[in-house]
Structure 1
Amino acid sequence: MKHTISALASNRPGVLADMALMFKRHNLNIRSLAAGETENPDISRIVISLDGDSEEMERLTRELAAMDVVIQVDDLARREFVDRELLMVKVRMDRESLSQLMQIFEVFRASVVGMGQESITVEMAGDQERVEGLIKLLKPFGIKSLCRSGMIALKRGDD
């Protein structure tokens, strides 16, 4: 089962490395990871997407919460949350495909950020399903390079 862990932690060197070691000890593969400062520059939010059973996730979140640098841990799989991911992708293009590509970009609200003679680079922010959808439609054109930011997420509502 897919889980999304959101942790607030002290913004200092080594925190992410210590967390990664914990995932390794639990033999869990990280599918996506994003980390950055919050509204308080002394605190970082770390959002990790991974697969695992609920029992394993409970053990992991308890161990993360016990770390002295961790302030709060939430398994967002048990709650409603809003997620976004940034995608940048460079796609092959020619005169014949440009119009079709532009229509796809418009539907996905992707913005052109660069253009060459034989390729076009776009960026798009959206949930993981939307990002996967755009990638799937662009594959037949020939993806030259692709970069994804990793998912960021927050709980919905007033919590």
Structure 2
Amino acid sequence: MKHTLSVLVEDQSGALSRISGLFARRGFNIESLAVGPAESPGISRLTMVVEGDDLTLQQMSKQLDKLINVLNVIDLSKFPAVERELMLLKVAAKNEQRSSILDLVQVFRAKVVDVSDDALTLEVVGDPGKLVALEKLLKPYGILEIARTGKVALERASGVNTEMLKSSSNLNNLPA
């Protein structure tokens, strides 16, 4: 199972190295990592996606908590959370294909951020599933380059689990 960890750390040199080293020594691959300033000066938030069972991740969280600069570790996979990712995608776009590509851009609420004679560069923000879906639809046109930020996430203050709402509304739409 994939887990999204939110880790608050003191903004000190070497903190990221110690955290990634802990995962590397245990043979864990960090699938996604985003780091940036948190709500308080001198504090950074790391959002990482790792794969493993609940017991193993619980043990890793405890070991993370023991590191000097780590202030707090939360496994957001256990709580309702808002998750977003940014993707820049450069797609081949010949004149005869542009209108169909631009139709997809509108559906996915993406933005065209650069245009050339033979390519469009798009910016799209959303949950990781949305990004994968757009990438899949644009693949036949010819994807030239992709850059993704990795997932950032925060626990929902409302406590509302939108994933549960999506699945229950899908059940309501099934034919009788």
TM-score range, shorter chain: over 0.9
Measure, in 1, the Cα distance between the counterparts of 2:66 and 2:158.
25
**Larger proportion of strand:** 1
Measure, in 1, the Cα distance between the counterparts of 2:151 and 2:41.
20
Tell me the CA shift for residue 68 of structure 1: 1.6
Larger Rg: 2
Measure, in 2, the Cα distance between the counterparts of 1:144 and 1:158.
40
Measure, in 2, the Cα distance between the counterparts of 1:158 and 1:69.
29
What RMSD, in angstroms, separates the aligned Cα atoms of the two structures? Answer: 1.0
Measure, in 2, the Cα distance between the counterparts of 1:50 and 1:131.
19
How many pairs align?
159
Measure, in 1, the Cα distance between the counterparts of 2:117 and 2:15.
44
User: Partner residue of 2:30?
Assistant: 30
The structure-2 alpha-carbon separation of the partners of 1:117 and 1:149, relative to structure 1 and needing over 3 Å to count, comes to same
After TM superposition, the score normalised by the length of structure 1 is: 0.97
User: Partner residue of 2:111?
Assistant: 111
User: Partner residue of 2:54?
Assistant: 54
User: Cα deviation per residue 1:24-73 (whole Å; 9 max; x = unaligned)?
Assistant: 12211111000000122300000000111111101100000111211100
After TM superposition, the score normalised by the length of structure 2 is: 0.88
- Any unmatched runs of 5+ in structure 1? none
Measure, in 1, the Cα distance between the counterparts of 2:158 and 2:71.
19
Structure 2 SS opposite 1:85: strand
- Any unmatched runs of 5+ in structure 2? 160-176
User: Partner residue of 2:157?
Assistant: 157
User: Partner residue of 1:80?
Assistant: 80
Tell me the CA shift for residue 80 of structure 1: 1.0
